[in-house]
Amino acid sequence: MTSDAAAVPSRVADSAFLLACRREPVPHTPVWFMRQAGRALPEYRALREGTSMLQACSTPDLVTEITLQPVRRYGVDAAILFSDIVVPLQAVGVGLEIVPGVGPVVAEPFRSAADLDRLPALTPEHVPYVAEAVRSLVGELGRTPLIGFAGAPFTLASYLVEGGPSKNHARTKALMYGEPELWSALLDRLATITLSFLRVQIDAGASAVQLFDSWVGALPAADYRTLVQPHSAHVLRGVADVPRIHFGVGTGELLHDMGSAGADVVGVDWRVPLSEAVRRIGPGKAVQGNLDPALVFASAQVLADKVHETLEQGKAAEGHIFNLGHGVLPETDPDALLRVVELVHAGFEGPSAEGR
């Protein structure tokens, strides 16, 4: 099977990506990459020259162009809005910066109940540039779907409480276990902000959403269920009119519960084979993943074998969206990602008789 004209759908709803989200038959396995826009692309680096990340995220023309760059270069089956999970926090007034090479840094970390007042509800007026960028993108993308996204309450809380990127999430866990009422109030506020941010994107025309709970894999399943899942479920319930992808890193033990939070598609990192992930998640869900992003640095043959292995394991699922197990690494050669797209679109029917 090839990705040529025969596979071009007449409507965005019939795109391979949305068909796979809905667990319907697909003309080819759809593929896109988390962090497909960004530093791996020279055209992105050129455009970002002299503009800070948050400035770029609030400039609709730049957002539109940066979002389209990987679609043009790789021919992926979906675009993802160029933004960041901390954009809605900054929009409601949280003082933060995205520091190059570091990530989000919060000026005054969340410490006590008084800090809840710094997290008011988000209204569309806080983020007019997001709706504008989404509307312009939907026009430009034609039949290619646009994925909107947001950070899940736990992962956003981690940045707010730690004040920046963290390996162990120690302060976050201290708050979660030590002051469960304050924790619940914090996650409530964040769920409200996240849900409104996703609604802005959907109401402007996004075809699907991904809720990133990147760092929730740091928790045991029982604590996830009581202290995090209800808040993520609140967000996911509010966006049930489009397919919902839910993803985190190191979430092998949480896959079933993340599905139960209300996802239509569960994102899987590279640590769990897709066939095993499907078993853990259970029926009624599609999966997304899960090529190790480091494999693009291996030889072309190794990369091709791993792509085929991922496609093969994805056949266990009711729907499979090919992706990396986490974001594109900045040093990635764009040509390697182009090869991945070509291999995925060409499909894989099992090992050939010769040469194996």
Rounded Cα–Cα distance for residues 320 and 225 (Å): 25
Mark the segment that binds ligand 1CP (CB under 6 A) among 23-31, 81-89, 227-235, 348-356. Answer: 81-89
Residue 66: CB partners within 8 Å, gap ≥ 6?
Answer: 37, 44, 47, 48, 56, 82
By CB under 6 A, tell whether 197 contacts ligand 1CP.
Answer: no
By CB under 6 A, tell whether 103 contacts ligand 1CP.
Answer: yes
Radius of gyration of the chain (CA): 19
What six digits make up the tokens of 36? 């497909």
Chain centroid to CA 253: how far?
19
By CB under 6 A, tell whether 37 contacts ligand 1CP.
Answer: yes
By CB under 6 A, tell whether 325 contacts ligand 1CP.
Answer: no
Q: How far is the CB of 99 from ligand 1CP (least distance, A)?
A: 7
Amino acid code (one letter) for 83 = S
Cβ 253 vs Cβ 219: under 8 Å: no
| 290 prior amide bond cis, ω within 30 | yes
Mark the segment that binds ligand 1CP (CB under 6 A) among 7-15, 95-103, 189-197, 269-277. Answer: 95-103
246 or 308, CB closer to ligand 1CP? Answer: 246
Among 40, 80, 133, 287, binds ligand 1CP (CB under 6 A): 80
Q: How far is the CB of 264 from ligand 1CP (least distance, A)?
A: 18
Amino acid code (one letter) for 274 = L
Q: What is the rounded (10 degree) CA torsion for 3, 274, 236, 209?
A: -20
Write out the binding residues for ligand 1CP, residues 165-194 only, by CB under 6 A: 165
Active-site residues, by number, are 35, 39, 48, 84, 159
Cβ 155 vs Cβ 199: under 8 Å: no
By CB under 6 A, tell whether 339 contacts ligand 1CP.
Answer: no
Q: How far is the CB of 35 from ligand 1CP (least distance, A)?
A: 4
For 211, phi then psi, to 5°, come to: -100, 110
305-4-76 Cα angle (round to 5): 60
Cβ 235 vs Cβ 213: under 8 Å: no
By CB under 6 A, tell whether 42 contacts ligand 1CP.
Answer: no
Q: For the window 268-307, what string marks contact with ligand 1CP as x by the rule CB under 6 A?
A: ----------------------------------------
By CB under 6 A, tell whether 212 contacts ligand 1CP.
Answer: yes
CA atoms within 13 A on the CB side of 324: 19
Mark the segment that binds ligand 1CP (CB under 6 A) among 98-106, 169-177, 298-306, 332-340. Answer: 98-106
Mark the segment that binds ligand 1CP (CB under 6 A) among 9-17, 33-41, 237-245, 334-342. Answer: 33-41
Cβ 69 vs Cβ 44: under 8 Å: yes
Closest CA to 202 of 135, 263, 265: 135
By CB under 6 A, tell whether 156 contacts ligand 1CP.
Answer: no
By CB under 6 A, tell whether 58 contacts ligand 1CP.
Answer: no
By CB under 6 A, tell whether 238 contacts ligand 1CP.
Answer: no
Q: How far is the CB of 307 from ligand 1CP (least distance, A)?
A: 19
Where does the chain show beta strands of DSSP type E? Answer: 79-80, 96-99, 103-106, 146-151, 208-212, 244-247, 265-267, 286-291, 320-324
Closest CA to 28 of 70, 68, 77: 77
By CB under 6 A, tell whether 38 contacts ligand 1CP.
Answer: yes
By CB under 6 A, tell whether 327 contacts ligand 1CP.
Answer: yes
Q: How far is the CB of 181 from ligand 1CP (least distance, A)?
A: 26
Q: How far is the CB of 328 from ligand 1CP (least distance, A)?
A: 7
Rounded Cα–Cα distance for residues 81 and 66 (Å): 9
By Cβ distance, which residue is nearest to ligand 1CP?
103
76 or 308, CB closer to ligand 1CP? Answer: 76
Chain centroid to CA 183: how far?
24
- The residues that touch ligand 1CP, with contacts defined as CB under 6 A, are 35-38, 53, 80, 82, 84-85, 98, 100, 103-104, 149, 165, 212, 214, 327
